[in-house]
Structure 1
Amino acid sequence: MSTAAESAKTADVADLAERYGLSRSSARPPLRGYLRELWGRRQFIVSYARARTYALYAGARLGSVWQLLTPLLNAAVYYLAFGVLLGTAKGIPNYPAFLICGMFVFTYTQRSMTEGSRAISTNLSLIRTLHFPRATLPLAYVVNELNQMFLSMGILFLLVGFTDGISLRWLLVIPALLLQTMFNIGMTLAFARLGTFLTDISQLLPFITRTWLYASGIFFSIPEKLSQLDAPSWVVHALALNPISAYIDIIRRALLEEHDALPNAWPIAIGWAVVSLVGGFIYFWRAEDRYGRG
């Protein structure tokens, strides 16, 4: 078939599609329409997250009990390594709760990003079979990790209740977790797109998050450590810009009776949540018509 004939055939198909209101199934919808579609799939997001949780622990003898055991065992290992062997617990009141709080908050973001980076690449058959907003997949991964975070926070509430007592400050955990969830959604969407087109990102993420782990004040108090080193005040303010440090700090403020707070943690947490959510969503949406190709 000649080039002219092919062009004519393509034009005829385009005319027919326009006449009957048809469009490419993979075409990127307008942002407002995309948000409406995403809201309409909210039940799918929740159901898919539940199915992933069930599949994750289906082969284990203890089943979903591992949802509780995993964060506790991680916290116990880090307490032994840092609190006991390296002595970072000195000078920090209620160090077990201090450490577990930091671990739970960090793990929520770490797992959301890591799992989300594979959200598109591991579901290509689903993407190529059905038409739906691709953002539902990474969002389901965040919902899955949020469910895990609720269980972890229940453990933390019990621990703090026995050691420091119950306080109205605990209500601040609600806006703190909301801000962190907004941040996690944006980061997960961004890494979902990166993981689709840069497959090596899933290999790099463990090294990135491990470095982030040690720099976020999870095992030690940043203000106290820097005061021991006689560091200038601007260093504390610079380290406070770390989003994970900010989210850990505002949740520690809500739960722990005694805590050396970072400066401006709430404004920093709000700023990161808004920037991450808006930036990550738009970044993911702009490649909507490219997911599942190839």
Structure 2
Amino acid sequence: MSQVLHTPPPTAADPAETPAQLAARYGLAVSGARPSLPEYVRQLWARRHFITAFATAKLTAQYSEAKLGQMWQVANPLLNAAVYYFIFGILLGTSKGVPDYIPFLVTGVFVWTFTQSSIMAGTRAICGNLGLVRALHFPRAALPISFALQQLQQLLFSMAALVVILLCFGVPVAASWVLAVPVLFLQFVFNAGVSMIVARMGAKTPDIAQLMPFILRTWMYVSGVMWSIAKTLKHSGMPHWAKLLLESNPAAVYIDLMRFALIDSFKAHQLPHHVWAYATGWALLAGVGGFIYFWKAEETYGRG
């Protein structure tokens, strides 16, 4: 049985007709055109299993060539904490007046590493995976989100070591530990949003990846990873706007909330006012804003 294809009869092209009008007349669409925002969200949700599998595969392969293997997921932040303890806790004396300083420091290092690693991975999410981007059609936001998810999985491995450290230094298990779950969720949304912002920037300007370590190092020093913001501000003569910037710093907000959740000597009065509003606001601003900012350039990734 033969099948007849019904095609429109050929007509003479109007010389005044633009290429866009000509394409619309024949039902043609731009290859790789950016979908609408709701459609983009739907496509991304449909590939949620790919995002999870890609993050897990990256995490597994990260230390596959090292002799200690996945133990480095815990060893790296612990070694950083040991270095910071020697320099800041002992040599510079930031441990004075801070109860449970080692749990305080290790918690800050682990939480900060989550943000730092997510952003660093995000800068190369597109430019470092051009082969995948050019070969397959999928929502490109899946890449920075999967890298943020990879770092969340790595943090969860590290949390096991953190719990052991807390118990070894006399920090009791408390009901407040469940607050770590919403804190991690809000921080993940924030990290994923910032990762999408730097992913778009890195796709256009790969040199961003070289500049980012300096930005992140500066950010770390003002985020209270190794020192107590509340203790420092209490005895400082800083202007009000500077104190507000330090307290509302998103990295410091998530670090302090995690310390409040896990360490019983870290009290509510050490938290900035409206801290949960800060945490939620930063997550929404970075998550939603970063997603829309990344989606706006969807059709440009992998080209040129």
TM beyond 0.5: yes
Corresponding residue of 1:268: 278
Instruction: Give the Å deviation of 1:226.
Output: 2.1
Instruction: Give the Å deviation of 1:63.
Output: 1.1
Corresponding residue of 2:293: 283
Residues 1:189 and 2:196 are matched in the alignment = yes
Residues 1:219 and 2:219 are matched in the alignment = no
Instruction: Give the Å deviation of 1:74.
Output: 1.1
2:258 corresponds to which letter in structure 1?
I
Instruction: Give the Å deviation of 1:108.
Output: 0.6
Output the CA distance in 2 between the equivalents of 1:269 and 1:38: 25
Instruction: Give the Å deviation of 1:158.
Output: 2.1
Of 243, 260, 264 in structure 2, the residue corresponding to residue 257 of structure 1 is: 264
Instruction: Give the Å deviation of 1:232.
Output: 5.6
Instruction: Give the Å deviation of 1:25.
Output: 3.5
List per-residue Cα deviations over 1:138-178 (Å, max 9, x = no partner): 11101110001111222222222332110000011011111
Corresponding residue of 1:174: 181
RMSD, aligned CA: 2.2
Show structure 1 runs of 5+ residues with no match: none
1:183 corresponds to which letter in structure 2?
F
Compared with structure 1, are the counterparts of its residues 236 and 5 closer, same or farther at alpha carbon in structure 2 (3 Å cutoff)? Answer: same
1:14 corresponds to which letter in structure 2?
A
Output the CA distance in 2 between the equivalents of 1:197 and 1:191: 10
Of 56, 73, 77 in structure 2, the residue corresponding to residue 71 of structure 1 is: 77
Instruction: Give the Å deviation of 1:14.
Output: 2.4
Instruction: Give the Å deviation of 1:9.
Output: 11
CA contact (8 A) 1:189 1:281 kept: yes
CA contact (8 A) 2:60 2:70 kept: yes
Output the CA distance in 1 between the equivalents of 2:14 and 2:64: 56
Of 199, 204, 209 in structure 1, the residue corresponding to residue 206 of structure 2 is: 199
2:263 corresponds to which letter in structure 1?
L
Output the CA distance in 2 between the equivalents of 1:149 and 1:190: 22
Compared with structure 1, are the counterparts of its residues 198 and 6 closer, same or farther at alpha carbon in structure 2 (3 Å cutoff)? Answer: farther
Corresponding residue pairs, total:
288
Corresponding residue of 1:136: 142
Residues 1:27 and 2:33 are matched in the alignment = yes
Instruction: Give the Å deviation of 1:53.
Output: 1.7
CA contact (8 A) 1:223 1:236 kept: no
CA contact (8 A) 2:196 2:291 kept: yes
1:39 corresponds to which letter in structure 2?
W
2:285 corresponds to which letter in structure 1?
V
Of 156, 165, 175 in structure 2, the residue corresponding to residue 159 of structure 1 is: 165
Of 6-15 and 229-238, deviating more is 6-15
TM-score normalised per structure 2: 0.89
TM-score normalised per structure 1: 0.92
Instruction: Give the Å deviation of 1:64.
Output: 1.1
Of 62, 74, 96 in structure 2, the residue corresponding to residue 90 of structure 1 is: 96
Output the CA distance in 1 between the equivalents of 2:69 and 2:228: 36
Of 263-272 and 282-291, deviating more is 263-272
**Taking every aligned residue pair, what percent have the same amino acid on both sides?**
46
CA contact (8 A) 1:237 1:263 kept: no
Compared with structure 1, are the counterparts of its residues 232 and 288 closer, same or farther at alpha carbon in structure 2 (3 Å cutoff)? Answer: closer
Higher Cα Rg, which structure = 2
Pairwise mapping of residues 113-128 of structure 1 onto structure 2 (< 5 A)? 113-128=119-134
Corresponding residue of 1:14: 23
List per-residue Cα deviations over 1:247-276 (Å, max 9, x = no partner): 111111111112232332211111101111
Output the CA distance in 2 between the equivalents of 1:231 and 1:128: 51
Corresponding residue of 1:149: 155
Show structure 2 runs of 5+ residues with no match: 1-12
Instruction: Give the Å deviation of 1:28.
Output: 0.2
Corresponding residue of 2:252: 245
Compared with structure 1, are the counterparts of its residues 12 and 233 closer, same or farther at alpha carbon in structure 2 (3 Å cutoff)? Answer: closer
CA contact (8 A) 2:23 2:29 kept: no
Per residue, is there more helix in 1 or in 2? Answer: 1
